[in-house]
């Protein structure tokens, strides 16, 4: 079996089975949930180590007629991302075992959702067709919504989850539009085969794709969902907001850069998003005192840097961006884990309330200092070489671009060092407050973060291995990246001097702002989003109140008028010569006698039951017309439907008085006019369609196909269940949804009645 298919099916089955486990066994689900990511990590390692030329791929055709297919491929970039998604995923699952105490509720649900997210993320990084990419992109939005809102009793968590969903799903719509344009222009849906796309259409697609990436990667001004998403349990933040979900946007920019990078829009818009985010995120990180929020805002800033580099698109910049993706995932996940551990053990994660943790939690402090140093770009750590590459990439550019990218990289780095210093001092530094009480160590929490911190060190020690991971991935995005590699010791170069200056300046700023609370910024952007959402809802309420006022006659009149207006254009198409009275006189008899009589009955009847029966007999007569016309299937169905409708009528009439209420003559006349007009309009439309036959139905072919392929002699039913089975599928689903609507309406009506009674 294909290794890709195996891993995906394993993940999906595991999610399905986990969902079926009763919630009392939630711990077990959480304990075992690390297994599928472990398997996919092994597969990714196999791909990276095995040098067999072809990347493993999987191609599942789903609706060939519509070019819908699931296409997966583990190329170099995907393998690197898999390592992050699944490798850090394993650690996060281990960590979650410690994070959730033995009495925590909903651990099974949590583990299932997190695994589902992990599956969606795998599909996303493996996707090799724009449609597959889109499907899994949306899947990550939905699962992350569930994860952010995990504490569903908490109103703040629900609000944050809604905000995250609205923004990322809105970005998903932009992505869909962008991908549609892109696939159309490029003439292929495969990411592999896509050549550069230009022109206005390419520009529009580029803008849409960048907006989508910005929503997912929490880029300014779409970043507003990320701080709120910190309401999620910390394992979620360590996973989604370091290595995976937010990296999806960066990945998108990397994947589509080759196709859209040559449009006029790509560079300025991408660099604009990234530049603003790099600074605004870092400033946010400097102002908050909640350690988790500091990290979240820091993520906005770091992702901004990656987007700047990827949008700039030179070989060195792409290479630096890919290195940053790797380094950032490793140190940011570790930092989130440490903050979560402090939160659990000390009961708070506010840096102004914590004190004396440095000596009481030595291991956590070490992990945080190492990972923080990697984030700040201090040797000998992985973050240092990645940042060094970014500075060199900026130095290699010319003109305005060098200025802007250099500004983003250097300015962003200074601020990053500053908030790192402030965070570490706040968490572990000296304080005049009494030392915080802490609970016992939880090994399951300490181990994964320690491993990641060691990873930051080992990444530097075994830089050759890291190079062999990063370079092919970067080359896939930008072939010119082939010549670059991460340097362990650059020597005293310009870049190194800049690096030193960054650390010195940043530390000074961090030290200066540490004791000075800058005032927590009000969540302006989030407020705007929430007000927007509430505004839409209240407009909807207003419009619904005006349109749905509950008067049945008005509803009927609106529908009738619509039919009349819709039928009017057909009046010009009617060909009088094509209209004749009947095929056989029997039709005339049925039409005139039975239908006429029935109409009279229902029109004249003073009792409701009589009118309903009269309408039923009209239906029966129409059924008779079908028989005469030689359509027994239609006749049978019509007869049965008519029967059931009459029964429904009879039951429903029990709610009403026996007789029609007496109406004024004017009303009766109005209703008569509307009825006649609607009847006339339908007749007109039918006459026009009969006047303009658009071809002869392929009866012969269908009959042969019905017997050969459908295995039945009844052409109508073979069409329904085989030839056009997709239509039938859609129709019965609509039917079921309508029935559910009926159930919901009548249930709510009943419970309201009971309340009144």
Q: Which residues bind other proteins (CB under 8 A)?
A: 60-64, 632-633, 635-637, 640-641, 643-644, 647-648, 650-652, 654-655, 709-714, 716-718, 720-722, 725-726, 728-729, 732-733, 735-736, 738-740, 742-743, 745-747, 750-751, 753-754, 757
For other proteins, the closer of residues 60 and 557 by Cβ is: 60
Nearer to other proteins, 352 or 746 (CB): 746
- Determine the longest span between alpha carbons in the chain, in angstroms: 105
Select 562 or 714, whichever has its Cβ closest to other proteins.
Answer: 714
Q: Which is nearer to other proteins, 123 or 506 (CB)?
A: 123
**Closest approach of Cβ 711 to other proteins, in Å?**
4
Q: Which two tokens stand for residue 197?
A: 């796309």
User: Is the CB of 22 or the CB of 711 nearer to other proteins?
Assistant: 711
CB 185, min distance to other proteins, A? 28
Closer of 493 and 637 to other proteins (Cβ): 637
CB closer to other proteins out of 33 and 646:
646
Smallest separation, CB 703 to other proteins (Å): 12
Q: How far is the CB of 636 from other proteins (least distance, A)?
A: 5
Which DSSP state fits 190? B
Q: Is 62 helix (H, G, I), strand (E, B) or coil?
A: strand
The pair of structure tokens assigned to 396 is 């290699």
End-to-end CA separation in angstroms for the chain = 64
C-alpha span between 689 and 696 (Å, rounded)? 14
Query: Three-state SS across 297-345?
Result: HHHHHHHHHHHHHHHHCCHHHHHHHHHHHHHHHHHHHHHHHHHHHHHHH
Could you tell me the smallest distance in angstroms from the CB atom of residue 382 to other proteins?
43
**DSSP-derived 3-state class of residue 59:** strand
Instruction: Determine the Cα–Cα distance for residues 723 and 719; give it in Å rounded to an integer.
Output: 5
Min dist CB 738 to other proteins, Å, is 7
Minimum distance, C-beta of residue 658 to other proteins, in the bound complex (Å) = 13
Eight-class DSSP state of 73? E
Separation of alpha carbons 436 and 386, rounded Å: 36
Nearer Cβ to other proteins, position 537 or 640? 640
Q: To the nearest whole angstrom, how small is the minimum distance from the Cβ of residue 19 to other proteins?
A: 16
Query: In terms of CB distance, is 440 or 754 closer to other proteins?
Result: 754
CB of 700 to other proteins, least distance (A): 18
Query: Smaller CB distance to other proteins: residue 683 or 734?
Result: 734
CB of 20 or CB of 49, closer to other proteins: 20
Using the minimum distance from each CB to other proteins, give the nearer residue, 101 or 730. Answer: 730
The whole-angstrom separation of Cα 674 and Cα 680 is 10
**Dihedral angle sign, alpha carbons of residues 456, 462, 463, 466:** negative
H/E stretch holding 461 reads helix 443-461
Q: What's the closest the beta carbon of residue 618 comes to other proteins, in angstroms?
A: 18
Can you tell me the distance from the alpha carbon of 105 to that of 151, in angstroms, rounded to the nearest whole number? Answer: 10
Q: What minimum distance in Å lies between the beta carbon of 14 and other proteins?
A: 18
Least distance (Å) between residue 694 CB and other proteins: 26
- ∠155-159-164 over CA atoms, to 5°? 145
Min separation Cβ 679 and other proteins, Å:
26
Residues 6+ apart with CB under 8 A from 506: 376, 413, 414, 415, 416, 417, 418, 420, 421
DSSP string, 250-288: HHHHHHHHHHHTTSTTHHHHHHHHHHHHHHHHHHHHHH-
Closest distance of CB 624 from other proteins, Å: 15
The full DSSP string for 192-252 is TTPPP--HHHHHHHHHHHHHHHHHHTT-TTGGGHHHHGGGS-HHHHHHHTTTSHHHHHHHH
| Assigned token pair, 593 | 């006698």
Return the H-helix or E-strand segment holding 63: strand 57-63
User: Would you say 20 or 547 has its CB closer to other proteins?
Assistant: 20
CB of 706 to other proteins, least distance (A): 10
Q: How far apart are CA 240 and CA 234, in angstroms?
A: 10
Roughly what angle, to the nearest 10 degrees, separates helices 463-477 and 443-461? 80
Q: Which residues pair with 63 in a beta bridge?
A: 68
If you search the block for the tokens 């660099």, which residue do you land on? 271
Q: Which whole-number Å values give the CA distances from 634 to 40, 598, 723, 733, in the listed order?
A: 54, 20, 18, 21
Q: Please give the sequence-ordered ranges of beta strands (E in DSSP) within 322-424, or none if there are none.
A: none
CB of 58 to other proteins, least distance (A): 13
The Cα 215–Cα 210 span in angstroms is 9
Of 45 and 705, which CB lies nearer to other proteins in the complex structure?
705
Q: Name which of 49 and 651 has its Cβ closer to other proteins.
A: 651
How many Cα atoms are found within 13 Å in the side-chain-facing hemisphere of 339? 29
Identify which of residues 677 and 720 has a Cβ nearer to other proteins in the complex: 720
* Residue 70: CB minimum distance to other proteins, A: 10
Q: Which residue has the tokens 């008067």?
A: 551
Phi first, then psi: what are they for 34, rounded to 5°?
Answer: -75, -10
**Residue 539 class from Cβ within 10 Å (0-12 exposed, 13-18 middle, 19+ buried)?**
exposed
Residue showing tokens 């299937």 = 633
Q: Which is nearer to other proteins, 691 or 721 (CB)?
A: 721
Q: Could you give the CA distance from residue 194 to residue 175 in angstroms, rounded to a whole number? A: 17
């Amino acid at each position: 079996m294909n290794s890709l298919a195996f891993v995906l099916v394993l993940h999906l089955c595991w999610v399905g089975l986990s969902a079926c486990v009763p919630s009392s066994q939630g711990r077990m689900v959480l304990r075992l949930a690390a297994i599928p990511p472990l398997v996919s990590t092994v597969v990714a390692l196999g791909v990276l180590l095995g040098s067999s030329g072809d990347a493993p791929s999987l191609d599942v055709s789903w609706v060939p007629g519509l070019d819908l297919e699931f296409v997966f491929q583990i190329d170099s970039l995907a393998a690197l991302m898999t390592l992050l998604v699944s490798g850090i995923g394993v650690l996060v699952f281990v960590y979650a075992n410690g994070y959730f105490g033995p009495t925590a509720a909903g651990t099974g649900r949590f583990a299932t959702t997190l695994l589902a997210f992990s599956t969606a993320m795998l599909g996303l990084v493996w996707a090799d067709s724009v449609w597959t990419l889109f499907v899994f992109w949306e899947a990550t939005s939905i699962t992350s919504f569930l994860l952010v809102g995990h504490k569903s009793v908490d109103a703040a968590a629900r609000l944050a989850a809604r905000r995250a969903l609205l923004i990322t799903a809105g970005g998903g719509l932009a992505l869909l539009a962008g991908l549609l344009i892109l696939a159309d222009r490029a003439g292929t849906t495969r990411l592999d085969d896509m050549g550069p796309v230009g022109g206005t259409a390419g520009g529009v697609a580029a803008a849409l794709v960048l907006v989508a990436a910005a929503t997912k990667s929490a880029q300014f001004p779409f970043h507003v969902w990320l701080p709120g998403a910190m309401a999620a349990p910390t394992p979620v933040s360590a996973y989604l907001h370091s290595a995976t979900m937010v990296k999806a946007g960066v990945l998108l920019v990397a994947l589509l850069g080759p196709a859209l990078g040559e449009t006029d829009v790509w560079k300025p818009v991408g660099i604009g998003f990234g530049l603003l985010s790099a600074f605004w995120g870092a400033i946010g990180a400097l102002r908050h005192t909640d350690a988790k929020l500091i990290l979240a805002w820091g993520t906005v800033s770091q992702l901004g840097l990656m987007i700047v580099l990827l949008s700039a698109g030179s070989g060195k910049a792409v290479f630096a961006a890919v290195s940053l993706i790797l380094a950032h995932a490793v140190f940011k996940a570790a930092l989130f884990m440490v903050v979560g551990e402090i939160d659990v053990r000390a009961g708070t994660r506010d840096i102004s309330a914590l004190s004396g943790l440095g000596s009481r939690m030595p291991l956590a402090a070490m992990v945080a200092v190492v990972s923080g140093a990697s984030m700040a770009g201090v040797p000998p750590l992985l973050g240092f070489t990645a940042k060094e590459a970014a500075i060199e990439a900026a130095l290699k550019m010319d003109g305005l671009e060098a200025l802007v990218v250099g500004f983003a990289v250097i300015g962003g780095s200074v601020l990053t060092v500053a908030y790192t210093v402030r965070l570490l001092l706040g968490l572990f530094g000296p304080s005049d407050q009494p030392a915080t009480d802490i609970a016992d160590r939880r090994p399951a929490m300490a181990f994964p973060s320690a491993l990641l911190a060691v990873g930051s060190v080992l990444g530097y020690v075994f830089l050759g291995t890291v190079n062999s991971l990063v370079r092919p991935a970067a080359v896939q995005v930008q072939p010119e990246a082939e010549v670059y590699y991460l340097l362990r010791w650059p020597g005293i170069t310009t870049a190194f001097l800049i690096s030193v200056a960054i650390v010195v300046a940043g530390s000074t700023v961090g030290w200066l702002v540490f004791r000075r609370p800058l005032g927590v910024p009000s969540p302006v952007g989030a407020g705007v989003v929430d007000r927007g959402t509430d505004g839409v809802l209240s407009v909807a309420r207003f419009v619904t109140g005006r349109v749905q006022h509950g008067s049945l006659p008005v509803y009927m009149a609106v529908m009738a008028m619509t039919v009349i207006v819709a039928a009017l254009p057909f009046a010009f198409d009617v060909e009088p010569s094509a209209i004749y009275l009947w095929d056989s006189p029997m039709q005339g008899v049925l039409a005139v006698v039975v239908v006429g009589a029935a109409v009279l009955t229902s029109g004249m009847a003073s009792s409701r039951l009589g009118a309903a029966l009269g309408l039923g007999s009209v239906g029966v007569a129409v059924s008779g017309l079908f028989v005469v016309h030689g359509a027994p299937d239609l006749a049978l169905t019509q007869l049965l439907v008519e029967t059931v409708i009459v029964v429904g009528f009879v039951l429903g009439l029990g709610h009403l008085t026996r007789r029609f209420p007496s109406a004024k003559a004017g009303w009766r006349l109005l209703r008569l006019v509307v009825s006649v007009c609607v009847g006339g309009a339908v007749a007109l439309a039918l006459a026009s369609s009969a006047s303009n036959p658009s071809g002869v139905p392929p009866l012969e072919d269908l009959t042969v196909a019905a017997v050969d392929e459908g295995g039945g002699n009844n052409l109508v039913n073979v069409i329904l269940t085989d030839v056009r089975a997709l239509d039938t599928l859609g129709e019965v689903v609509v039917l079921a949804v309508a029935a559910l609507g009926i159930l919901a309406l009548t249930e709510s009506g009943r419970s309201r009645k009971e309340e009144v009674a």
